[in-house]
Structure 1
Amino acid sequence: MSGHIGIEAIMRSGPVIPVLVVDDIGHARETAEALVEGGLKVLEVTLRTPDAMKAIQRMNLVPGAIVGAGTVLNEKQLEDVLAVGSEFIVSPGLTEPLGRAAVKAGVPFLPGIANSGDIMRGMDLGLKHFKFFPAMAAGGIPALKALAAPFNKAKFCPTGGISAATAPDWLALDPVLCVGGSWVAPAGASPEEIVRLAREASELAA
């Protein structure tokens, strides 16, 4: 466990946060070990599969890994993922009940935003770090540039449709601290392949 590391430190710990959909719990730990070995310590396990909670617990055993839960939709899920040791929380959108619960729990929280109303709602809750999602479908780099302009204190982690080829363009933007991506741990990839992809991703300039 990393103790009380804040969301900004988590976002700055590497240029890419792997977004993981764990279908095979048997490979959860070795996937985490490969990503950490490749230089990506922050791991987002999405709650899209039945074994996500077990995967968080197993990945938490990997030295150096900072394991969080993604696709957290409500307070009940927030409680569940905190109970299994999630060190940060990512959501695809921002509702007031979830936002208030996350702030009250004191957990590093990265809520999804796609428009200025979302950002304003987050700022009302005292938040200034956001996941721009779905990044490509929501208008890509021009959309984020336009959104970020009125909110000069906001920092972003664009996620959704970003690849190894396009990540550097996003990372070149001033308000972008990191990007989220699933390409670093594709389904069926060997640990060696994941180490290689993670190493390449960890060397992208933020």
Structure 2
Amino acid sequence: MLEKVDLLDELCTRARILPVITIDREEDVLPLADALSAGGLRTLEITLRSEHGLGAIRTLREQRPELCVGAGTVLDEWMLADAEAAGAQFIVSPGCTAELLRAGVYSPLPVLPGISSASEIMLGYALGYRRFKLFPAEVSGGVPALKALGGPFPTVRFCPTGGVEPGNIRHYMDQPNVMCVGGSWMMDREWIRQGDWARVQAVSAEALSLLDRPSVNESVKE
């Protein structure tokens, strides 16, 4: 588990923003991934919310090996096994169950379980998990919740997802227990439907540029 924690730290630190992708059409897989990659987002979470999820992971692993591709919305041990077989490099879940947490311990892949409470963190913590997805972040308390959780769980870090957008991304990333954030605002479904890949690329690049500006805390000091 310690090795998996290190893998997640490396993956999330490199990614900074984890795009949460739901594929509605098979033909969108490669151009969408290319647009995100051109904008600087090269670690992708492909959700299993649609019938194209597993196929998209296989396609990207085969045809875009330079990208880091994980499976999201993994709900049980069977979906975990399917994601492993498809070639996923990491696993993300929206919540956690005892069964899924145990399956994640034995999986060769690093698993980022979703939590929204201290009790759920403790379930994972007992099994060696130290990295979690806070979901849905804004509904679950947002930045104040992260600050509060930092007290009893000083070695735990999070990927807040759900309600994260350009207006609050820096507030999240300024928290010492946040390693990256997840979101989908750079992939408006209408843009994808119209094949406006240039806009996806531009918004992805803009999102990353927000993280290169002075932090909220630095601005206050100035």
Under a length normalisation based on structure 1, what TM-score does the superposition of the two structures give? 0.94
Equivalent position of 1:121 in the other structure: 123
CA distance in 2, matches of 1:40, 1:18: 7
Equivalent position of 2:109 in the other structure: 107
Q: Whose radius of gyration is greater, 1 or 2?
A: 2
Equivalent position of 2:163 in the other structure: 161
Deviations 1:103-147 (A, max 9, x none): 211211110011111111111111101000000111221122112
Change (3 A) 1:146 1:112: same
> How many percent of aligned residue pairs carry the same amino acid?
40
Q: Assess if the C-alpha contact under 8 Å between 1:14 and 1:202 holds in 2.
A: no
Equivalent position of 1:171 in the other structure: 173
Residues 9-48 of structure 1 aligned to structure 2 (within 5 Å): 9-48=10-49
State the Cα distance separating 1:63 from its structure 2 match: 4.0
- Aligned AA (1:27): D
State the Cα distance separating 1:16 from its structure 2 match: 0.7
Residues 1-206 of structure 1 aligned to structure 2 (within 5 Å): 6-60=7-61, 61-189=63-191, 190-205=196-211
- Aligned residue pairs, count: 203
CA distance in 2, matches of 1:62, 1:37: 13
C-alpha RMSD of matched pairs (Å): 1.5
State the Cα distance separating 1:35 from its structure 2 match: 0.9
Unaligned runs of 5+ in 2: 213-222
State the Cα distance separating 1:85 from its structure 2 match: 0.4
Single out whichever of 191-200 and 172-181 deviates more from structure 2. Answer: 191-200
State the Cα distance separating 1:14 from its structure 2 match: 2.2
- Aligned AA (2:128): G
State the Cα distance separating 1:151 from its structure 2 match: 0.4
Q: Find the residue that maps to 1:32 and give its secondary structure.
A: helix
Unaligned runs of 5+ in 1: none
Single out whichever of 134-143 and 73-82 deviates more from structure 2. Answer: 134-143
CA distance in 2, matches of 1:201, 1:82: 30
CA distance in 2, matches of 1:164, 1:59: 27
Q: Find the residue that maps to 2:161 and give its secondary structure.
A: coil
Higher helix share: 2
Under a length normalisation based on structure 2, what TM-score does the superposition of the two structures give? 0.87
Deviations 1:10-39 (A, max 9, x none): 111122100011111101111111111111
